[in-house]
Amino acid sequence: MVVFQLRAYQSSDLSEIAQLFYQTVHTINRQDYSQAEVDAWADGQLDLAAWQQSLQAHQTIIAVLNGGGIVGFGDLSKAGYFDRLYVAANYEHQGIATAICDQIEGQFAGHQITTQASITARPFFTQRGYQVLQEQQVQRHGVSLTNFVMSKNLSGRLTNESSSSN
């Protein structure tokens, strides 16, 4: 099992995260999407300023190997939208995505989290208690990609915020 630590996002992480995103889509997601689909999804031309703004505005958690190197990241908006969750291909099935989700969900004080999960990520989110609301097609550079709108109701458990106010 790989040893890693979770920490908050820092603006200096952006370049490494952009590379991880591209490589993950083109390796892990390639099992469920065609080459044209992954090329449209991750074309290597990210709007880095928009990503920086989004990652800073969201609760963004980074998984870092002991000794350095980002191996995963995830982010949740203040409204409860789980925007991104990516783990480096060489570090799949090591508990990284689970740890990121546990921390993000544990700190969210809302009642419901929603996401748009890829075909690849759907089983992971299903296992965590997310329900599929609908299958949809999204357009990226004129290419249609299948994903799933999913949600998880958190109102049945105490959050850090609600347990401290009781």
Give the sign of the dihedral formed by CA 98, CA 118, CA 10, CA 165. negative
Q: Give pLDDT tens digits for 78-119.
A: 999 999 999 999 999 999 999 999 999 998 877 899 999 999
pLDDT at 165 over 70: no
Q: What topology does CATH give the domain 4-164? A: Aminopeptidase (3.40.630)
- The region of weakest confidence among 32-36, 45-49, 151-155 is 151-155
Q: Where are the domains of the chain?
A: 4-164
Q: Please give the single-letter amino acid code of residue 116.
A: Q
What Rg, from alpha-carbon coordinates, does the chain have? Answer: 16
**Which strands form 112-118's sheet, in the order they lie side by side?**
4-8, 59-65, 70-76, 81-87, 112-118, 143-153, 131-140
Nearest to 31 by CA among 92, 97, 100, 95: 92
Average pLDDT, the chain: 91
Give pTM, 2 decimals. Answer: 0.90
Residue 157 pLDDT exceeds 70: no
Q: What average pLDDT does the segment 44-59 reach?
A: 96
| E strands present in 4-162 | 4-8, 59-65, 70-76, 81-87, 112-118, 131-140, 143-153
pLDDT tens for each residue of 24-42: 999 999 999 999 999 999 9
